[in-house]
Amino acid sequence: MAGRPGYVTLPIISVLAAIGYVYYTAVFLAIPAWLGLATAAGVANVAAYTTLALACVAAYGLVVTRDPGRVPPAFVPDVEDAETPLHEIKRKGGDLRYCQKCSHYKPPRAHHCRVCKRCILKMDHHCIWINNCVGHENYKIFLVFVLYAATASFYSLVL
C-alpha cells in the first residue's frame, strides 16, 4: 500500500518471535511437564492455549495491516458545528488547523504522523511494535490484541 511503512521490521519480527517463544514454552515444555500430552487435561490445555495464541496473532496481524484512518481529501471543517470544541478545529491564532505536509485541513483529533508521513484520524500514537499508528480504524482491534496478549501471558504464568 502506498504511503505506508513496511511490515517487515525488527520490532514486528521480535513481537512474533516472542509470541512464538511463549507458545513453545507453554505447549511443548510447561504443559507436558505438568499434565503430560496424553491426558485429557493436557490436550484441553494445548487446545485452549493454541486458540488463544492464534487469536493473538490474528489480532496482531490486523493491527499491523489495518489502515489507522485517512483524512478524506475533500474534508473541510464545519466551523458552525457547535458540538465540536473550537480548539479542535482552529489553532490558537484563530486559523483553521491545516496540515502543510498533506495540504489539507485536519479534522478534530487528527494529527500528522512523521513516520507514516500523513495525517491519521483520531491519532493515538505511533507504535514501533506494529510499525503503524494506532488511530480511529484500528484502535478497537489494538485493545483486543492487548487483551489477548495479557490473557496469554497470565495463562502461561499459571502454567
Q: Which residues are catalytic?
A: 127
92 by Cβ neighbours in 10 Å (0-12 / 13-18 / 19+) ranks as exposed
Closer by beta carbon to Zn ion, 87 or else 101: 101
81 contact partners, CB below 8 Å, separation of at least 6: none
- Give the binding-site size for Zn ion (rule: CB under 5 A): 10
> For Zn ion, what does the binding mask look like between residues 100 and 129, x meaning CB under 5 A?
-xx---------xx-xx--x------x---
Q: Which three cell numbers stand for residue 123?
A: 491519532
> Which of the residues 72 through 101 are near Zn ion (CB under 5 A)?
99, 101
How far apart are alpha carbons 27 and 36 in whole angstroms? Answer: 10
Task: Report the nearest approach of Zn ion to the CB of residue 133 (Å).
Answer: 3
Asked if 15 contacts 127 with a C-beta cutoff of 8 angstroms, the reply is no
Phi, psi at residue 111, to the nearest 5°?
-135, 155
Task: Report the nearest approach of Zn ion to the CB of residue 86 (Å).
Answer: 21
Closer by beta carbon to Zn ion, 90 or else 112: 112
How far apart are alpha carbons 37 and 39 in whole angstroms? Answer: 6
Closer by beta carbon to Zn ion, 49 or else 69: 69
In terms of Cα–Cα distance, which of 159, 151, 158, 157 is closest to 59?
151
DSSP 8-state assignment for residue 25? I
Task: Report the nearest approach of Zn ion to the CB of residue 104 (Å).
Answer: 7
Task: Report the nearest approach of Zn ion to the CB of residue 152 (Å).
Answer: 26
Closer by beta carbon to Zn ion, 34 or else 129: 129
> Which of the residues 1 through 60 are near Zn ion (CB under 5 A)?
none
**Residues binding Zn ion (CB under 5 A):** 99, 101-102, 112-113, 115-116, 119, 126, 133
